[in-house]
Amino acid sequence: RLAEGSGRHDHINGRHGYAVEISPFLASTIACASSQYYGIAGCGTLFVLEQREADVSLVKSFNWNDGLFDVTWSENNEHVLVTGGGDGSLQIWDTAHTQGLLQVLKGHTQEVYSVDWSQTRGENLVVSGSWDHTAKVWDPERCQLVSSLQGHEGVIYSTIWSPHIPACFASASGDGTLRVWDVKAGSCRLAVPAHKTEILSCDWCKYDQNILVTGAVDCSLRVWDLRNVRHPVAQMMGHSYAIRRVKFCPFYKTVLASCSYDFTVRFWDYSKNQPLLETLEHHSEFVCGLDFNLHIPNQVISPKHSAVIGFSGDIPIRQSRLM
């Protein structure tokens, strides 16, 4: 919830939160990508927020002329972010500047639904996924398109860099496949028929370069080992509507979180016979995004569709249950 006295409630409550990401540099700084009218029409706003105890206060906001559907922080500049827009462009922002907008990257022909900044050393790349069925890799410093990758037969909802393997990212699509891409070769290394429905999100395990998770419209999460993709390592059921986003925990190898159109955030340990650890029902509308705090173990935030930010606080799980 937003702290009282922020003075910007009307402006904020006119937006619907699509994605949230905590700064890799500052534990209390949060970015949220949002849209008017559920992204169907209207403008978008990038919010920069500050977490103070149990409240979240607005620091800055930057408007765009179309909806914003995802956001990612730079890995080498604490002030720089990239968002993906409904007009098919990526926007590079510098929060240290009053105007904010640094550059616009154009290349996609439809909505950009996913953006991610590479975390591996020696790389400074952004990957984007679009409704135009393509994934594109960009050099944000030179503001140039590096590569355009085709292969999906449906909307790309999620593109995530491997935290282990240079020039490698995964994508999840409405065509039901999870794909792993080699940017240097410019090709798909692996295509996994992961679900029989649209896949809305995927993420890499932070401790094992071969493990990924997918979340889909069929309400299931599936964990995959890239060395053998005939069957998932684990399947987790519990959500009652489509899973909008999945994230692996940065502190525990087999723990992950998911959020859904069923208004809940759920925490799982796929190594357990009963993998569901906890269900949070703090939201009153669709939950479209979530992020783990890299600086504070067991802290997660998620944006609400009815406002911009919903702060779920610490995961209500004792650490002994996570081990």
How many angstroms separate the first and last alpha carbons of the chain? 31
Mean pLDDT of the chain: 87
Q: Are 202 and 171 in contact (CB under 8 A)?
A: yes
Tokens representing 317?
A: 């799980």
10 Å CB burial of residue 282 (0-12, 13-18, 19+) is middle
Return the pLDDT at 263. Answer: 85
Q: Is the dihedral of CA 166, 23, 10, 306 positive or negative?
A: positive
Give the SS3 label for residue 322: helix
Convert the pLDDT of each residue in 172-200 to its tens digit. Answer: 999 999 999 999 999 999 999 999 999 99
Does the pLDDT of residue 282 top 70, yes or no? no
Residues 6+ apart with CB under 8 A from 308: 2, 12, 13, 15, 17, 32, 34, 47, 49
Domains of the chain (ranges, CATH numbers): 63-309 (2.130.10.10)
Q: Which of 25-39, 259-273, 279-293 has the lowest mean pLDDT?
A: 279-293
Q: pLDDT band for position 155 (50/70/90)?
A: very high
Tokens representing 210?
A: 């071969």
Return the pLDDT at 297. Answer: 86
Q: pLDDT band for position 249 (50/70/90)?
A: very high
Q: Is the dihedral of CA 229, 146, 104, 293 positive or negative?
A: positive
| Dist CA 266 CA 259 (whole Å) | 6
Tokens representing 66?
A: 């179309």
